[in-house]
Chains A and B, each alone.
Chain A
């Protein structure tokens, strides 16, 4: 019997009788399948977003093997260690308007950060906690516009360019009037900043310290980008007119280090490669600031075994060795541990080693979320050489302050909000919580300048932030008064330089704190 169908699905008009309506099932099924397939193709992205990382929740999706996207706190991106902090944000969002001016316009502030990047490590949680504390403070006494946070996780800067996609989601949300945090010093962050600036979203970055990451491309510092990747955009500046950062840029940090340590360092430890904007811009600046032609000791950040070898090299001369460390903080613990092993094993000729790092070195002050890194960190900090001062770690404070001093009344507010939210104060040591808090607080301060009866617009917030330019209008940040220069950088003199001290033993139910002492020119820093 010949087929009753043409092209498999279309009922042949000359087919044998009976002509039942069920003959059209195939065609209907084919059409449905075609529509589904076409729909699946057209709506591929929304569908993929809807069915990954939270069912029927399009705000978060899977990219590069992890969940990225937006969360109002109810969704934890599948990362258990952030659940508590996100839960706090969710609760604070729900209670945002409780203490605010009833006439105020509820606004949403995006907090854009990486929860999983290897260069963030355990500090990502501290950053998020700082931001949550900032929100808590913002919605407290004096609040005009209730502030809700939406957490934007850009993930580990994978190959899918998801950071830009996440930022686009933020920019497309009309409720978002500003963005706090912008991730790390990465080319992706430059693209994110440009995208948000195009959407007129003011952004206050909390952690980006690399040169080039301001509105002018750090023109005044005359950075040297030749060691960096060729296809970068940040030398021309990022987020024109809308980008501000509360973290002190490398040029200022290096200047502060040079002021405190006038001598000529013996080595500069740098990682190979140029994809990381932080070391690639800092290295020429350090060489220039410390007199040039300092011996560069290179190691491969991807190959842990190269770190002990560099330690050997540093140990070569019998004197007090000073090493400039501008690699990532994640490798620092291993380096310190290797130095200690060399000193204890008698394989080190040096009498002492002073490791001088920019602010990323402070990473060793806070607990890691990776068990191996945490083990290395504790071994390094509790090692005999570190404890007795033969190995010293000198670093700049990325936040400007790590405890309450005379000039930063905001730190008390931070501690109050931090403990009020149920976070551990030990998380303040590495400075990221302080910077997260300051970024949110800056936006909060801008919002408090806007009249409560009128709706809040992005450009109004931007104008208000740009107005924090003189000490009279400074934002009372936890790390000190915050003012911005024309490029969007912190306008004040710079962060203090500290020596990281050996950790105190754990005190009761409190986590062990790693204290620091401020290093001043001429006086030996004693813990």
Chain B
């Protein structure tokens, strides 16, 4: 079940929809969906494919694990070409130029005199006008490409051999216009290599022969040149195919998952370079045909560098647009919960939402677990401690891995990164995390994606960059269990407390509280009660209780039973109650919550009565939040 993400899908829809009568022919921006691991970017691509699969030529490509340093975009390009070539009825896409380039590249001109090279090229192009020869070539090409790129082509099977055969068959049919022709003509496709839509005046055949020679080079500069020619041919094929379609055809939709993979980044960069070059060339009727390619890719950050952020509504502009994939809203989580268990969905949804904060993959996981075993609703801790059978690790580790995996294009489960993330989760902000980086073992440093990732350390609504709340909570739970003195709970918070700015008493008290100095902090806070204006005091209090303490699970301890009825005693109790009530997702039992709410209400009322508090209203307002009749859950 797919829920939410309407604005992102609408943006993709806007960028894929047909151009208006007098709309500009400029390329539509490349959309980069950014989000941390598990934020649901791939699901959005799949949903977009599902939406558009019947209405336009579309394909979803996922570059597989690159072998060694292979960063070539060619398998990706070929896969996209074959995928788009399937098209939909009435919307056919053919690729004569790309095919000519591939034929030239796969030819061997080495050691031949210049004249013979041309002859060989001509022979080769002529040979592959025959259907059986071209069919074989296309099948081999498809097979090779699909080995390196996972492709989802609407309407075609998933398994590579059949997929390759059918994609090749489809491409062949486009070139032969169904089964009408026995031979076809390359037409002006060869001549295109003379100008490449960029007003060059090269010799077409010479260009192709050189392309063949250079394609084998390992020099990145040379390879970039080859890539650009291939991408330009691909675009030229798309433009001409699109122009031939009758009616108002939508854009072709290329959904490129794992945009941080080198091959994908190379492709997008090359695409942008070629688009720029075409836009800068002298206008000709052909290179001013509308650019029909809409690319949507995903990134954990690297591939989005330099992209224009999308404000969230309205049209997108620029060559690349970055769209942050937001977490699911509480309502959307409840909606998702309904698909698992309709009857208890309201409570399930809010429990899961409080834990995951709408993190898509984690929400799905937690909802599934709660659906399987509703008793876990009262004991989320047990859920997080249970084994995840697929990966043979505990559920909380599994969830942390999802975050870590998003940082790595190879998506390997990496326990070292998980441990590092656990250490960093003690930090309230990205700034603070910087002080913890020295605790991390090599190779982690300030340049590691774990620390630099703009999606893991996102700054929602323009605030400070913070770790995703779910990752932080899970990290704190794991940190509490870590036995090591230096990188364990005590060590980390001690370090944090030590590095706190002298003026930052809130930060210092926060860390103090985490280190067990709750009574001490309470005394100091209580002492400030008569001095500070009430609102400021509450702000200070909120900063101190910003983090739940997963080590304290005893309800009596949380409630602060037995504290003296003094302002310090009340503050002490509230220092336990409020973080548990507000921040700890594992407090889920309704009766516990009701009890804590009552105590919180009582505590704030008592604080309001403290001698020397001039303005009681903020305390009364705060107490009101916990009054019995206001609906919480």
- Chain B residues, CB < 8 A from A524: none
User: Is the CB of B585 closer than 8 A to any CB of chain A?
Assistant: no
Nearest-neighbour CB distance to chain A for B274, whole angstroms, equals 26
User: Is the CB of A454 closer than 8 A to any CB of chain B?
Assistant: no
Nearest-neighbour CB distance to chain B for A4, whole angstroms, equals 10
Which residue of chain B has its CB nearest to the CB of A22?
B89
Stretch with Cβ within 8 A of B (4 or more), from A11-19, A482-490, A500-508, A509-517: A11-19
Q: Which of B40-75 contact A (CB under 8 A)?
A: 54-56
Q: How far is the CA of A18 from the CA of B250 in the complex (A)?
A: 10
User: Is the CB of B311 closer than 8 A to any CB of chain A?
Assistant: no
- Chain A residues, CB < 8 A from B88: 17-19
Q: Which of A1-25 contact B (CB under 8 A)?
A: 12-21
Which residue of chain B has its CB nearest to the CB of A19?
B90
- Chain B residues, CB < 8 A from A21: 89
Q: How far is the CA of A21 from the CA of B89 in the complex (A)?
A: 8
User: Is the CB of B27 closer than 8 A to any CB of chain A?
Assistant: no
Q: Is the interface of A mostly helix, strand, loop or mixed?
A: loop
Q: How far is the CA of A19 from the CA of B247 in the complex (A)?
A: 9
- Chain A residues, CB < 8 A from B248: 13-14
- Chain A residues, CB < 8 A from B567: none
Give the interface centre of A16, A17, A18, A20 by most chain B CB atoms within 10 Å.
A17
Contact with A along B71-114 (1 / 0, CB 8 A): 00000000000000000111100000000000000000000000
Contact with A along B244-268 (1 / 0, CB 8 A): 0011111000000000000000000
- Chain B residues, CB < 8 A from A14: 18, 247-248
Q: How far is the CA of A19 from the CA of B54 in the complex (A)?
A: 10
Q: How far is the CA of A29 from the CA of B568 in the complex (A)?
A: 86
- Chain A residues, CB < 8 A from B247: 12-15, 17, 19
Q: How far is the CA of A12 from the CA of B18 in the complex (A)?
A: 14
Q: How far is the CA of A13 from the CA of B246 in the complex (A)?
A: 7
Chain B: interface residue total (CB-CB under 8 A): 13
Q: How far is the CA of A21 from the CA of B248 in the complex (A)?
A: 17
The answer, among A12, A13, A15, A18, for a CB contact under 8 Å with B54, is A18
**Contact between A20 and B89, CB atoms less than 8 A apart:** yes
**Contact between B91 and A17, CB atoms less than 8 A apart:** yes
**Contact between B55 and A17, CB atoms less than 8 A apart:** yes
- Chain A residues, CB < 8 A from B91: 17-19
Nearest-neighbour CB distance to chain B for A410, whole angstroms, equals 79
Q: How far is the CA of A13 from the CA of B91 in the complex (A)?
A: 12
**Contact between A17 and B246, CB atoms less than 8 A apart:** no
**Contact between A19 and B246, CB atoms less than 8 A apart:** yes
Nearest-neighbour CB distance to chain A for B417, whole angstroms, equals 44
**Contact between A18 and B55, CB atoms less than 8 A apart:** yes
**Contact between A20 and B90, CB atoms less than 8 A apart:** yes
Which residue of chain A has its CB nearest to the CB of B21?
A14
Q: Which of B321-363 contact A (CB under 8 A)?
A: none
Q: How far is the CA of A14 from the CA of B18 in the complex (A)?
A: 9
Which residue of chain A has its CB nearest to the CB of B246?
A13
Nearest-neighbour CB distance to chain B for A17, whole angstroms, equals 5
Nearest-neighbour CB distance to chain B for A94, whole angstroms, equals 57
**Contact between A16 and B246, CB atoms less than 8 A apart:** no
Q: How far is the CA of A18 from the CA of B249 in the complex (A)?
A: 9
Contact with A along B405-432 (1 / 0, CB 8 A): 0000000000000000000000000000
Q: How far is the CA of A20 from the CA of B91 in the complex (A)?
A: 9
Nearest-neighbour CB distance to chain B for A257, whole angstroms, equals 90
Nearest-neighbour CB distance to chain B for A164, whole angstroms, equals 57
- Chain B residues, CB < 8 A from A12: 247
Q: How far is the CA of A13 from the CA of B249 in the complex (A)?
A: 10
Q: How far is the CA of A13 from the CA of B248 in the complex (A)?
A: 7
Which residue of chain B has its CB nearest to the CB of A15?
B247
Q: How far is the CA of A12 from the CA of B54 in the complex (A)?
A: 17
Q: How far is the CA of A16 from the CA of B90 in the complex (A)?
A: 10
Nearest-neighbour CB distance to chain B for A1, whole angstroms, equals 11
Q: How far is the CA of A195 from the CA of B155 in the complex (A)?
A: 71
Q: How far is the CA of A12 from the CA of B246 in the complex (A)?
A: 11
Q: How far is the CA of A15 from the CA of B250 in the complex (A)?
A: 10
Nearest-neighbour CB distance to chain A for B48, whole angstroms, equals 15
- Chain B residues, CB < 8 A from A15: 247
Which residue of chain A has its CB nearest to the CB of B17?
A16
- Chain A residues, CB < 8 A from B54: 17-18
Nearest-neighbour CB distance to chain B for A10, whole angstroms, equals 13
Nearest-neighbour CB distance to chain B for A416, whole angstroms, equals 77
Give the interface centre of A13, A15, A18 by most chain B CB atoms within 10 Å.
A18
Q: Which of B263-295 contact A (CB under 8 A)?
A: none
Q: How far is the CA of A12 from the CA of B250 in the complex (A)?
A: 15
Q: How far is the CA of A21 from the CA of B90 in the complex (A)?
A: 8
- Chain B residues, CB < 8 A from A19: 88-91, 246-247
- Chain A residues, CB < 8 A from B55: 16-18
Nearest-neighbour CB distance to chain B for A26, whole angstroms, equals 16
Nearest-neighbour CB distance to chain A for B593, whole angstroms, equals 46
**Contact between B246 and A18, CB atoms less than 8 A apart:** no
Nearest-neighbour CB distance to chain A for B249, whole angstroms, equals 6
Nearest-neighbour CB distance to chain B for A106, whole angstroms, equals 57
- Chain B residues, CB < 8 A from A16: 55, 250
Q: How far is the CA of A484 from the CA of B90 in the complex (A)?
A: 81
- Chain A residues, CB < 8 A from B250: 16-17
- Chain B residues, CB < 8 A from A20: 89-90
- Chain A residues, CB < 8 A from B246: 13, 19
Q: How far is the CA of A502 from the CA of B88 in the complex (A)?
A: 94
Q: How far is the CA of A62 from the CA of B18 in the complex (A)?
A: 59
Nearest-neighbour CB distance to chain B for A23, whole angstroms, equals 8
Q: How far is the CA of A20 from the CA of B89 in the complex (A)?
A: 5
Nearest-neighbour CB distance to chain A for B410, whole angstroms, equals 37
Q: Which of A32-70 contact B (CB under 8 A)?
A: none
Nearest-neighbour CB distance to chain B for A343, whole angstroms, equals 95
Which residue of chain A has its CB nearest to the CB of B56?
A17
Q: How far is the CA of A17 from the CA of B90 in the complex (A)?
A: 7
Give the interface centre of A12, A16, A19 by most chain B CB atoms within 10 Å.
A16
Give the interface centre of B88, B247, B249 by most chain A CB atoms within 10 Å.
B247
Q: How far is the CA of A15 from the CA of B249 in the complex (A)?
A: 9
Q: How far is the CA of A91 from the CA of B56 in the complex (A)?
A: 72
Give the interface centre of B18, B246, B248 by most chain A CB atoms within 10 Å.
B248
- Chain B residues, CB < 8 A from A13: 246-248
Which residue of chain A has its CB nearest to the CB of B54?
A18
Q: How far is the CA of A214 from the CA of B250 in the complex (A)?
A: 83
- Chain A residues, CB < 8 A from B90: 17-20
Q: How far is the CA of A18 from the CA of B92 in the complex (A)?
A: 10
Q: How far is the CA of A200 from the CA of B68 in the complex (A)?
A: 104
Contact with B along A353-386 (1 / 0, CB 8 A): 0000000000000000000000000000000000
Q: How far is the CA of A21 from the CA of B178 in the complex (A)?
A: 14
The 18 sampled A-B contact pairs (Cβ below 8 Å) are: A12-B247, A13-B248, A14-B18, A15-B247, A16-B55, A16-B250, A17-B54, A17-B56, A17-B88, A17-B89, A17-B91, A18-B88, A18-B90, A19-B88, A19-B90, A19-B91, A20-B89, A20-B90
Q: Which 6 A-B pairs have the closest CB atoms?
A: A19-B90, A18-B88, A18-B89, A14-B248, A20-B89, A13-B247
Partner-B contacts on A (CB < 8 A): 12-21
Given A17-B91, A17-B250, 8 other A-B residues pairs in contact with their CB atoms under 8 A? A14-B247, A15-B247, A17-B54, A17-B249, A18-B91, A19-B90, A19-B91, A20-B90
